[in-house]
A and B are shown apart, each in its own frame.
Chain A
Amino acid sequence: MNIPFVRHRLDNGLEVLIHADQNCPIVAVNVWYHVGSKNERPGRTGFAHLFEHLMFEGSQHYDKGFFHPLQAAGALLNGSTNADRTNYWEVVPSNALELAMWMESDRMGYLLPALTDAKFENQRDVVLNERRQQYENRPYGLAGMAIVAALYPPDHPYHWLTIGAAEDITAARIEDVRAFFQTYYRPRNASLSIAGDVQPDEALRLAEDYFGELEAGEEPPPFTCTPPEVRTSESRMVLEDRVELPRLYLAWHSPALFAAGDAELDLVAEVLASGKTSRLYRTLVFEQRLATEVAASQNSREAGSFFQIVATAAPGRSLSELERAITEEIDRFIQDGPTAVEMERCRAQAESQFVYRLQTVGGFGGKGDQLNAYNVFLGEPDYFDRDLARYREASSAALQRAAAAYLRPETRIVLSVVPKGRTALALVDAQPAVVA
């Protein structure tokens, strides 16, 4: 299984990946910039994402909004920012490929001449509303901020979420936009994929014509950060929120994306909490009815990941009951490892997920997006097979070792989210959480 492609590097450093798939008369154009909220600095958080919004507001040679001509051509389009990267894509009818290339190249090369104060201020308001809608006005919406703020010290770039602090977004200045563009939105810091109903020669010619003329610019400064110190004692926090059911979050530092142990912890999360037969669901929700829901995830990122377990208390049950039951299940997993049946199941799930990922050329997670992910993070767009092998070859002993190494009680962060005014429902000794 793989995603076959042609690869070419333009003189200005832009990587071009082309995958032909004639199933449907559509093409996905996808651009990754290797910049995210981890390239921000304290006091200016949320900037990479705010910048992403401005990429949709028009560029020098077509300054009437990015959406209009593309939606008129039948495109679906979007973009997103996370800690490590920013991506943009459009899925167009195959005979509108040139339009998509024109538009993407224009904003890569010529965004700043079209930038105005009015656009900047408007999108700052939009982002502040996005923050209100997705975080402030949503139950448990601030928990993620409290978790990363506790896991990473203030000067570490994973200390804040990509959405950033409201006061930082408000404090952003248009000059910051110019500097950010000059530094990071360069062909050499980007990867372009074209996936779908195309002739590779033709697609490559369009890439050279439209993107080849863009200035290479300077190499962006290398990303550096000091890894957080290894935690030696548990840390307990409490956050009051407008919720009815208390919720418990457990989080640990874990190996970076693609590092040894990363895939294993992904599978540990699967065994612990994916589906009704998973250990935590079975114990907490099914048998003991302590929780209404439980989830586990290995949140993989370039400069270090975190493993998280989240469980919501059933009415009348306490977070300390949840904590005890979860800790027992982790201890048991560390002691005995996964069973043969669990290994069979989690491998089957992982393998079928890889096949499911081959279904679509575009959008978040489509084949074009995957090629860029492997290329930007590893420089190896053909990593699909080896990525699958990480999961196929993970042994039950390796899962057990990874859990033993990373999911220790003395290194965890524990956050209790409780109804406002009900801090007594938190685990004992919890300190008020810090949220920006």
Chain B
Amino acid sequence: MAVDRTRLPEPGPPLSCNFPEVRRRTLANGLRVCTIEHHEVPLVTCFVLMPIGSSQDPGHQPGLAAITGDLLDEGSGDLDALAVHEALGRIGAHLDTEIGADATLLELTTLEQYAPRALELLASMVWNPRLDPRDFDRVRELRLSRLVQLRDLPPAVADRVFTQLLYPEHPYGHLPIGTEEALRALTIADVTTFHRRVYTPKNATVIAVGDASHDRLAALVAGAFGDWASPEGVDTDLVDVASLDAPPSPAGRVVTVHRTGAAQSELRMGHIGLARSTPDYHALLVMNMILGGQFVSRINMNLREEKGYTYGARTSFEFRKGPGPFVFQTSVQSDVTAEAVREVLAEIKAIRGGRPVTAAELELGRAALTRGYPRNFETAEQLGRAAVQLALYGLPDDYFTTFVPRVLAIDEHDVTRVAEDHLAPERLLTVIVGDRDKVGPTLEGLDLGEVSEAAIA
């Protein structure tokens, strides 16, 4: 049969997304447990969520939360560091530790048959790590070396400078890895005290997803974590980032970091954005899709597909417990750095009203978020990460089922309004990591505030 190539087939209506049931219980020690059944593949994935991110670092100790998280798998209980990994390796388990601004997240995936052993190892790491001084010393050396290497990686330099300048004197004002000075000053006693204070069952949520019943998953978690007792007389209060005032928002400025002979300029442009709890969350997601959140967004189409300046460009809002950054990021050919910056500034201004979002753009932005939504819930890992979001940000249980209708309720006016309210072209911090000799002279006349140069921290 000859097909009709004169028009594209219409996809069907958006498919509803039934997020599987999440069952919750709290153990006697205060630890919260979430279970989700997922019987597709004979695996179990287990997350331990500790709301201990780099924002919990004491002010003079940036990097403490991250090195503590890093030391969890360096020996626990009866097992030294190598024995822990030997035990994980023999059951083919895969362990991953992530440390962000708001949380430390451990993820362990294993064949269902080995889940009891895997969870036992995971629990032991979290509440009974050895925190041996020799391991601390070795891990700290590796982190210091990593910091040295990151000085040569333009995206890492740009992220560091952007973060530090955007959030002065604020818990979000440093990267999780911390600084060389702070790492050198840390001792194992700092780590031990920190771990004892904040790694408590009351702070922890364990999410188990996989090929087992709710009861079995819950029993596995209870068996592994049930004996974790809160230390007596320890202050377990965490810094409440959400209640802190955001740093003042100064006028826009441009900061360059010199890199001799760089083939490209690494760019960041942005300002402090919003917390995860903002009522404008869904409208901002739609607005960002149109501005720079996907391939066919205004900014990527402009910088990549029309001008060929870059391999790709995007914007994002990082919604955290407290107000996270709004940031544009790309890497552009050195000789068009100023043009790229100018175009992005123009796009940010335009979506606030100069060239408001069209009906077609709105439809595309909403459709990209809603029609593709089911694919976010295919694997045990994805389901577990979704439950992590619920737990970390205190979202309601029907969050995933109400997502699609809430996005579809956003209209052009909402998009323009949140762009006006939450994008601030006059307050943009612009960071350029590139060759001063190629880029510097072209930055004259940019309407982005004072231009200065920073050294690589």
Q: Do A and B bind each other?
A: yes
Q: Which residues of A contact B (CB under 8 A)?
A: 21, 23-26, 60-62, 65, 67-69, 71-76, 91-96, 98-99, 102-103, 105-106, 110, 121-130, 132-134, 136-139, 209-210, 213, 242-245, 275-277, 282, 285-286, 289, 292, 312, 314-315, 341, 344-345, 348-353, 355-356, 358-362
Q: With A73-B367, A314-B141, A359-B40 in contact, do A93 and B86 touch (Cβ < 8 Å)? A: no
Once bound together, how far apart are the Cα atoms of A70 and B55, in whole Å?
A: 39
| Contact yes or no, A286 B82, CB < 8 A | yes
Q: With A137-B264, A138-B153, A242-B152 in contact, do A73 and B6 touch (Cβ < 8 Å)? A: no
| Contact yes or no, B333 A129, CB < 8 A | yes
Expressed in whole angstroms, the minimum distance between the Cβ of B173 and any Cβ of chain A is: 25
| Contact yes or no, B375 A275, CB < 8 A | no
Residues of A within 8 A of B392 (CB): none
| Contact yes or no, A93 B11, CB < 8 A | yes
15 contacts across the A-B interface (CB closer than 8 A) = A26-B374, A93-B11, A93-B374, A95-B12, A99-B8, A126-B311, A129-B332, A242-B261, A244-B149, A244-B152, A245-B149, A276-B85, A277-B82, A286-B138, A292-B149
Contact of B371 among A93, A213, A353, A356 (CB under 8 A): A93
| Contact yes or no, B371 A96, CB < 8 A | yes
Name B1-59 residues within 8 Å CB distance of A: 1-3, 5-6, 8-15, 40-43
| Contact yes or no, B40 A129, CB < 8 A | no
Residues of B within 8 A of A133 (CB): 264, 310-311, 331
Residues of A within 8 A of B410 (CB): none
Q: Which of B2, B5, B43, B142 has the most CB of A within 10 A?
A: B5
Interface residues on B, range: 35 or more
Asked if B146 is at the interface (CB within 8 A of a chain A CB), the reply is: yes
Q: With A102-B5, A292-B145 in contact, do A23 and B378 touch (Cβ < 8 Å)? A: yes
| Contact yes or no, B145 A71, CB < 8 A | no
| Contact yes or no, A74 B263, CB < 8 A | no
| Contact yes or no, A74 B367, CB < 8 A | yes
Once bound together, how far apart are the Cα atoms of A68 and B373, in whole Å?
A: 17
| Contact yes or no, A139 B149, CB < 8 A | yes
Q: With A67-B296, A137-B154 in contact, do A344 and B90 touch (Cβ < 8 Å)? A: yes
Contact of B146 among A26, A285, A286, A292 (CB under 8 A): A292
Once bound together, how far apart are the Cα atoms of A95 and B14, in whole Å?
A: 8
Asked if B92 is at the interface (CB within 8 A of a chain A CB), the reply is: yes
Q: Which residues of B contact A (CB under 8 A)?
A: 1-3, 5-6, 8-15, 40-43, 81-82, 85-86, 88-94, 109-111, 138, 141-142, 144-146, 148-149, 151-154, 259, 261-264, 266, 294-296, 304-311, 331-333, 363-364, 367-368, 370-375, 377-381
| Contact yes or no, B145 A245, CB < 8 A | yes
Contact of B148 among A21, A125, A245 (CB under 8 A): A245
5 closest pairs, A vs B, by CB? Answer: A74-B371, A125-B308, A95-B12, A352-B92, A74-B372
Closest to B147 in A: A244
Once bound together, how far apart are the Cα atoms of A277 and B88, in whole Å?
A: 10
Once bound together, how far apart are the Cα atoms of A136 and B88, in whole Å?
A: 38
Q: Which of A24, A68, A127 has the most CB of B within 10 A?
A: A24
| Contact yes or no, A352 B368, CB < 8 A | no
Contact of B13 among A65, A95, A348, A358 (CB under 8 A): A95
Residues of A within 8 A of B379 (CB): 359-360
| Contact yes or no, B152 A139, CB < 8 A | yes
Expressed in whole angstroms, the minimum distance between the Cβ of B333 and any Cβ of chain A is: 6
Residues of B within 8 A of A244 (CB): 148-149, 151-152
Closest to A95 in B: B12
Once bound together, how far apart are the Cα atoms of A150 and B57, in whole Å?
A: 48
Residues of B within 8 A of A99 (CB): 8-11
Contact of A213 among B3, B11, B333, B374 (CB under 8 A): B3
Q: With A74-B368, A358-B41 in contact, do A122 and B305 touch (Cβ < 8 Å)? A: yes
Residues of A within 8 A of B40 (CB): 21, 23, 359
Once bound together, how far apart are the Cα atoms of A344 and B310, in whole Å?
A: 47
Once bound together, how far apart are the Cα atoms of A331 and B401, in whole Å?
A: 58
Residues of B within 8 A of A23 (CB): 40, 378
